[in-house]
Amino acid sequence: MEVIHSTTILAVRHNGGVAIGGDGQATMGNTIAKSNVRKIRKLQEGRILAGFAGSTADAFTLMDRFDEKLNAYGGNLKRAAIELAKDWRMDRYLRRLEAMLIACSKDEILVISGTGDVLEPDHMVAAIGSGAMYAQSAALALKKHAPQLSAIDIVRESLTIAADICIYTNHNLVIEELPGN
């Protein structure tokens, strides 16, 4: 899977809840261009949460297309993700977009890429962006060793750890959750 620089997005399903968060940093080369970009979106009247890593303009285009697919398929997350991935891989315009998405409902988390991948992560933890491995490692450790934490607490702490390590990730976090039953 390709590495997208300039952000960290993390989604966690734990103890019946789902949370997704991201930092706010946007870079141009090795310069911070903006520190408070909102990379997490609520879709389908808040039933679907999505986050992006990569080129901001490309990601906004993909978010719009993903929302269209969700509307076309009655909010079915997996079907919309598969259809977006197919279009993304085959469409001449979309194929050039440089971004990745994580989308989640209260039941599933999916990573969607431009190579046609729609991946369901192991252990209900998914991360994309330059700080992905730091955040994912922290989240997996917290799920295992601090099982009493909520999904939102795990996302917040894991993104903080990633921001402490990754130069392309900052501490301006936006986190959204889908509460458990």
Residue matched to tokens 């130069």: 167
Long-range contact list for 27-30, CB < 8 A, 24+ apart?
27/168
Residue type, 14: H
pLDDT digits (tens, 9 = 90+) for 83-118: 999 888 887 777 777 788 999 999 999 999 878 899
pLDDT band at 135 (very low <50, low <70, confident <90, very high): very high
Find out whether 26 and 56 touch, Cβ atoms under 8 Å.
yes
Residues with active-site annotation:
7
Decide if pLDDT at 180 tops 80. no
What is the CB neighbour count within 10 angstroms for residue 148?
Answer: 6
Domain ranges in the chain are 8-178
Mean pLDDT on 123-127: 97
Record the pTM. 0.94
User: 8-178, which class in CATH?
Assistant: alpha beta
Mean pLDDT on 43-57: 91
DSSP 8-state code for residue 5 = P
Lowest-confidence segment of 2-6, 35-39, 95-99, 146-150 by average pLDDT:
2-6
